[in-house]
A and B are shown apart, each in its own frame.
Chain A
Amino acid sequence: MGFTVKPKSSEIYGSLIHMYPQSFRNHYSTTMIQTFDDMLENERTWTGRLQVWARTLLNLPFSAAKEHATNGKEIIMNHNMKILLIGAIVAIVGVGIGSYWFGNLHAMQGAGIERVTIAQLADAMRQDEFYSDYGNAAVLFTGEISAVKSGNNATLVTFVTNRPFSVTCQFPKNIAVKTGQTISVAAPGGSADRQKQGVLLHNCLVN
């Protein structure tokens, strides 16, 4: 890949870890930075990386304060810690605004849309790779309907697949479709639930 975020991200996160007590840092700082690097490396999209940053920064002041509290020590902030705390707050706000702006831009450009097959969806959930592959994307697929179940202003549509795992869509209203019909569907990948025998996608739309 053309650019790397890892070294800069590691350095920034390594600085922020100074909010934790010295004893905690001595034991965990290296492995925490490595875990943070692993998380970033395994996110395929910019929005995914931003979400990792946002989650990490949002949790940082709370987990650091908790760790100081469990150490039985009063949180005394020196000059560097104050700068780091202010920096963390600025970064949190920045990442929040950036996520919102970039997320919208991403959606408008269609970069967050994954065109997939029914078999790919079934296999991804069966192999526990669904959320890493499609958790941050909208999935688009076309399939033949094998079963329709309506009720409570919602419709469940199951698709034909030759896989051991089934793929079912929940439409938040009654829709006029029937078994044997082929339809195209859009659904947020993050809304998927693992069911006993397949994947259930919520908030589906007929595309």
Chain B
Amino acid sequence: MKRQYNQLPQVAFSILLALSLKERHGYEIIKQIRDDSNGKIQLSPGALYTSIKQLLEQKLISEISRENDTRRRYYSLSKKGKTVLGAELDYYQNTIALARQRQVLEISHGFYS
């Protein structure tokens, strides 16, 4: 079945994007999301782990335990997660291309370039 575009909530999308480079533990994910969003998305542990639980249930991420760091759980992007993230990114890329084509971004783009 072909996946529909833009099905992920923003927090879930941000977590997958944060895990796209390497596996991370909770605080590293929060920090990466904050940096990726220029400080606009700042998650609490509650918001993070309720989303992580759903992503684990959907098998989009995997949990990794480390013997030398038992208080932290590490997470990595699964193969399915990579596919879903890729579909989401395609959607955003197409949307931005469309907006540029329609010159919706002309004012801000011109001002800062």
Known interface pairs A151-B111, A195-B112; A35-B30 also in contact (CB < 8 Å)? yes
CA of A35 to CA of B54, assembled, Å: 18
Say yes or no: A131 contacts B35, CB within 8 Å: yes
Say yes or no: B111 contacts A156, CB within 8 Å: yes
Say yes or no: A35 contacts B48, CB within 8 Å: yes
What is the chain A residue whose CB lies nearest that of B35?
Answer: A128
Q: Does A34 contact B (CB under 8 A)?
A: yes
Instruction: Please name all residues of chain B whose beta carbon is closer than 8 Å to the beta carbon of A38 when the two chains form the complex.
Output: 26-27
Say yes or no: A35 contacts B45, CB within 8 Å: yes
Q: Which single member of A24, A28, A42, A59 contacts B47 (CB below 8 Å)?
A: A59
Instruction: Give residues of chain A (45-86) contacting chain B, Cβ–Cβ below 8 Å.
Output: 55-56, 58-60, 62-64, 66-67, 70
Known: A20-B46, A31-B72, A59-B47; 20 extra A-B contacts, CB below 8 A, are A13-B45, A28-B49, A32-B46, A33-B45, A34-B72, A35-B30, A39-B27, A42-B31, A55-B42, A55-B43, A59-B44, A59-B46, A62-B46, A66-B50, A67-B50, A131-B39, A152-B111, A154-B111, A156-B112, A195-B112
Return 27 A-B CB contacts under 8 Å, by A number: A13-B45, A24-B49, A24-B50, A24-B53, A27-B53, A28-B49, A28-B53, A31-B49, A32-B45, A32-B46, A33-B45, A35-B30, A35-B45, A35-B72, A38-B27, A39-B27, A42-B31, A55-B44, A56-B44, A56-B45, A59-B44, A60-B44, A66-B50, A67-B53, A70-B54, A131-B38, A192-B39
